[in-house]
Structures are given as structure tokens and as C-alpha cells.
Structure 1
């Protein structure tokens, strides 16, 4: 699409700039202009563009020198050079140095539109590919947690990443199964894409065509060939989320693909060789799913070369303060609060008392909600929904005096739980400042660091 694309024109002749501006505005482009290369570079340091059109012969820095400067500064948008009829050789030389194409004066409206359209389409595809590469690279930086159970998960990911083995990830909803799959892909060294597909979110009659692709005429509505997820993930990783929701017939076809490393598009009799890694995930116990007939036994054992089990959030309480602070930092800019927003002491205690049936995803949503309602002030219990309030220390005043698990009076267990709560409260009130937190707790900084390390906070 040309509409809304931002194009920068660089030419020392005002009339030449105006002619191009008129042509591009008729194509519904947003147009910027500069009378020389230095002015163009200044503009580009303040704003992004989708395309640059520059004259070759300009006083001071010419078009070729401008292109060299753009490369040095890391710009990747296409460049079209404008030249007079007698200097086409110079324009060809410019293309050898990285120009996308050239247009000749006097300008031909159809030629300008054709070249500009092609350049903007190439730029769009390059940006989409970069987005896909960035998405594929996501992994380790998304993990927040220092509990022992999470360190075990990290170690499994490091061990599994470089191998080609299929992996089965299971855990409750909201525990981060896709994050694990992305981290495995990021650790694998595979150059292809990370391609996720949620088997529960796609109707059964469409899922097969999404996975395998199809050729024109394969069924009513198949008006052109389409690449499936298997082919898209060639050289990379295919993540099959909620695989127990996949119809049994499709599971059988998936097993064949895994065994033969070949895929047939629907309606085609030609097999395509593929090289991909499959990571499957479910929020069910996989063996129970096999017993219930939701997952083929042969497929389970084919996928379950390595298993990564994710702990529920209630099983790693020491990670809750870290996650809460992380989500505050993540969302405070979106609600336009520049300063850190602390958590009140009773909120810290309530977060540790709550069972978190929705796990990390639920915690993230609640922190975002509380941040919006707090209006940049200290986040208090009143900013959380009723289910949190019903478990707060205000609603259950004696809870701090009760053992965490019914009948568990072990001193060390309960003291550690109380220390974790106090450390979390102090860090929140101190907005992460360790020295200030130590003063609030009336302990030395050395003791604070020791306890933070001890509890993985």
C-alpha cells in the first residue's frame, strides 16, 4: 500500500522537489523534503521514512556520498536515485552501491509510480521479515524468576536447545509454555522461524489446511496455493500449543510428517522435504490425555523425547515480588507514569497469599489493572479485584500467625515465608533501592544481599 507511506525527497532544485511532491501526494504518500544531503541526514535522525528519493548531482555531499552515510548510520530503507537522461551510467553505478532503482528526467508519471510502488513493497516485506526474526529471537529475556524450580527449567532448556529432539512442555494455563518454546528455539541455533499455532483456537476443519497448506482447487474456496505452517517452519521450530485439542485424524497425519520429514499440501500428490523441530504443549497431564483418548499414544511417545514441566506460580512464591516489579515497569510507560509505582505492604502480603489459578498471566493482568487504577500512586489492595481482597491480611487478620499449610508448625518453614514477605515489601517501598530497603528493615546491606541471594529474590 502506498497510502500513509513516508517518503523523503532530497534535491537542491526547488522545482524538482515540487514536481515529485505533487506526484507522490497523488499516490497518498506522506512527503518530506530536504534541499541538500546534510538536511536529509538531520531529518532522518529525528524521524523514520519508508523510502528516500535523491538526486545524484548536488552541491556539497552528492547522492552517492549520501547513500554511503546512510549505510554507515544503519538505515535500511530503499533509495531511488534521480538522474538526467545522459547520466544513466552513473545511476547504474549507484545501484551497484545499493540503490534500489533509478528514475530519469524528465519524469514519467507511470514510471515514477511503478518504481515507488515496488520500492515500498520491498521495504514492507523487509520490515515484516525483520519482525518475524525479532519474534523468533525472543526467549531468555522474557523469563523472570530465580526460584529453584525455575532454575531447573532453565537448565533443561539449555540442555535441550542445541539438540534436534522433539520436546513436550506441560503446565497449567498461564505458566509460560510458549516462552519455554521460544527460549528453546533461541538456544537451538536454528536459522528458520519460530512458528506458533494454537490447536484449540482453530476450528478442526481449518486446522489441517493451516498446518499442511493446500494447492489451488483442493477444496471450495482454495483459489490459490497456500503455504502451511509445516513449510513455514522449515529450518526452524513449530510450536503446537494445546496439542490435545487436535483432532485424532490430524494427529495421525502429524505423526507421519514427523516420521518421514515430508509434508503433502492438501490436494497435491507431491511431497515436500522439510527440516523442522516440533515442540508440543498442553495444560493437561499428557498421560491422562492419552488414557482419555485425547492424545494418540504413538504421537505422545514420538513427541515426548524431552519433557519440560512448568511449575504453577503458587509453587514458586519467591518469584512473585520479582514478577510484580517487572510488570509494573513493563506497563507504567503505557499508562504514562514516568516514576516507579510502589506496592503497599499489605498488597505484597496479599499477592503471596493468593493461589493464582491463572498463574503468571493472571498476575500480569492484575498488576496492569492496579497500575491504571492507582493513577501513579502507591498500589493498594483497593486496586485489586475481590478474589485478591478475600485472601488479603485485612480480610484474614490472623493469617500471619497461622502456618502456611494446615498442620505445618515447622519454625524454619514459616520464618522463611515471613522473611520473603518482608523483603518483598521493603524492596517495593524502596522502589528497588537496596540501601533504602536495608534501612527500612533495620539490617545491614550485607545481610540484605545475603537474604536476597538465599531466597533467589
Structure 2
């Protein structure tokens, strides 16, 4: 059963969403700060986050930014009565984010929830692109998280091994780095030798 996080400072709105989500497992909070504490400190993994846009403290957009900066790709549904084009434009810069205007019906909410939960998980190619960006910028912790995700998405691919080689080389752990390079070459010698030569 999907685990959903609801964030809204109005108790009656949270109650309405809870009622619409009958049968789902959910947590219900009133601020983004509480939500980030659950995610970052308590390590709670959610399948979907439903959040108001305007909240006391951090806003719904700040929630999206905080999660995406940490390479957390949980789908997020923003529900709000504010539908200014510039707000929607800001939201849709991020992947796996959707918007639902208040007021909404049960059918409208459940349709959005189903779309976001059923949407394919982050693709290997996107993880590869982001991992490369983080490696190039020097943000090795974010790169490592994505590389580990790539291992789970495609265990037989040489690419995560090669990226881990690059990451460990940057950290100065040459012994372990070379083990990953050898693993990459054993999975696909031609591709990895070519990449190795390109990076000399």
C-alpha cells in the first residue's frame, strides 16, 4: 500500500484529503519543516507527497527544491487556490511534480494520485545524467546516492561501476576505485576501455 504524506496548515483541508484517501496509508502534517524532519532525520520514505503551496514557514515550492537538491525524486502533488502562471512555471521546472487547483473533487484528487504513483520510477538515463552533473560539480555525496540507485535499476550494467570508479578516484580511494573499474571492464570491455581512454 502506498505511503502518502499530506501537508496543509488547514486542519479541515487535511481532513478532507484524508477522507478522500481512505484505504491509503498516510501521515498528515501542517508544515514543510515537519515534513523535512520526517524525510531527512527519521528517514521515512513516501510514495507521494501532497502539499499546499502557501504554508507557515517554508512554502510548497521550497519543499520541492529541498527534496530535489538532495536527489530525492518522490512525486509531489501541489494543491492550491493560487494558480498564477509564474507559480506553475516554477513548479513545472521540476520532474515528477503536478498541480491540482482548490477546490477539487475526490475523483480529481485520486486521478492525480494514481498518475503520480503509477508513473515509472526515475529512469536509468536520468540518474546517469544527474550523477555525471554531480561528479563534475564535485558534489560527491549526491553523485554516490544516484550511482547506488543505478546499481539497483540495472545491476548488470558496467556504467555504475565506471561512475563509482570516477567517484572513488576523486576521493582518493584508488584501490577500491580500480576494483570498480575492473568490474566495469569485465561486464563490457570495449565500452569501458574506450571510456577509460577518453578520460586519460
Give the TM interval when normalised to the shorter protein. 0.5 to 0.7
Q: How many Å separate the matches in 2 of 1:100 and 1:127? A: 13
Give distance in 1, aligned partners of 2:96 and 2:161: 35
- 1:61 correspondence with 2:64: no
Which string of whole-angstrom CA distances, capped at 9 and with x for unpartnered residues, describes residues 366-424 of structure 1?
xxxxxxxxxxxxxxxxxxxxxxxxxxxxxxxxxxxxxxxxxxxxxxxxxxxxxxxxxxx
TM-score relative to the length of structure 2: 0.62
> Tell me, what secondary structure is at the counterpart of 1:136?
coil
Aligned to 1:40: 35
Runs of 4+ displaced beyond 4 Å: 127-130, 137-141
- Give 1:58 deviation, angstroms: 0.7
Is the CA contact 1:55–1:63 (under 8 Å) kept in the aligned structure 2? yes
Deviation at 1:23, TM superposition (A): 1.2
Aligned residues: 146
Within the candidate set 26, 49, 53, 1:31 is matched to 26
SS at match of 1:49: coil
Distance 1:87 1:12, change over 3 A: same
Matches within 5 A, 1:50-199: 50-84=47-81, 86-89=82-85, 90-98=87-95, 100-122=97-119, 125-126=120-121, 130=150, 131-137=152-158, 161=185, 183-185=186-188, 188-189=191-192
Q: Which has the higher helix share?
A: 2
CA 1:126–1:134 in 2, change beyond 3 Å: closer, same or farther?
Answer: farther
Give me the whole-angstrom Cα distance separating, in 2, the residues matched to 1:40 and 1:18: 17
The answer to whether the 8 A contact 2:73-2:122 is kept is no
Structure 1 length as normaliser, TM-score?
A: 0.29
Q: Distance in 2 between matches of 1:134 and 1:83?
A: 40
C-alpha deviation, 1:187, in angstroms: 7.6
Deviation at 1:103, TM superposition (A): 0.8
On the 8 A contact 1:81/1:99 being kept in 2, the answer is: no
Deviation digits for residues 37-90 of structure 1, max 9, x if unmatched? 100001112211111111101111111111111122221111110011x52522
Q: Which has the higher contact order (CA 8 A, sep 6+)?
A: 2
Q: Distance in 1 between matches of 2:95 and 2:3?
A: 20
Superposition deviation, residue 135 in structure 1? 4.6
Kept after mapping to 1: 8 A contact 2:8/2:51: yes
**Structure 1: any 5+ residue segments left out of the alignment?**
142-153, 162-182, 191-457
CA distance in 1, matches of 2:27, 2:16: 13
Structure 2 unaligned spans of 5+: 125-149, 165-177, 194-200
Distance 2:24 2:35 in 1: 18
How far apart, CA to CA, are the structure 1 residues paired with 2:2 and 2:156? 24
C-alpha displacement at 1:139, in angstroms?
6.6
For residues 235-283 of structure 1, give each alpha carbon's deviation from its aligned partner in whole angstroms, at most 9, with x where no partner exists: xxxxxxxxxxxxxxxxxxxxxxxxxxxxxxxxxxxxxxxxxxxxxxxxx
- Report the alpha carbon displacement of residue 134 of structure 1 after superposing the two structures with TM: 4.3
In terms of Rg, which structure is larger?
Answer: 1
The reply to whether residue 6 of structure 1 matches residue 12 of structure 2 is: no
Contact 2:7 2:32 in 1 (8 A): yes
Please give the alpha-carbon distance, in whole angstroms, between the structure 1 residues aligned to 2:161 and 2:95.
Answer: 33
Contact 1:136-1:186 within 8 A present in 2 as well? no
Structure 1 contact 81–91 (Cα < 8 Å) conserved: no
Indicate the SS of the match to 1:16: helix
Instruction: Give the drift of 1:92.
Output: 4.2
Counterparts in 2 of 1:118 and 1:184: CA distance versus 1, 3 Å: same
Displacement of 1:15 in angstroms is 1.1
What CA distance in whole angstroms lies between the structure 1 residues aligned with 2:27 and 2:155? Answer: 29
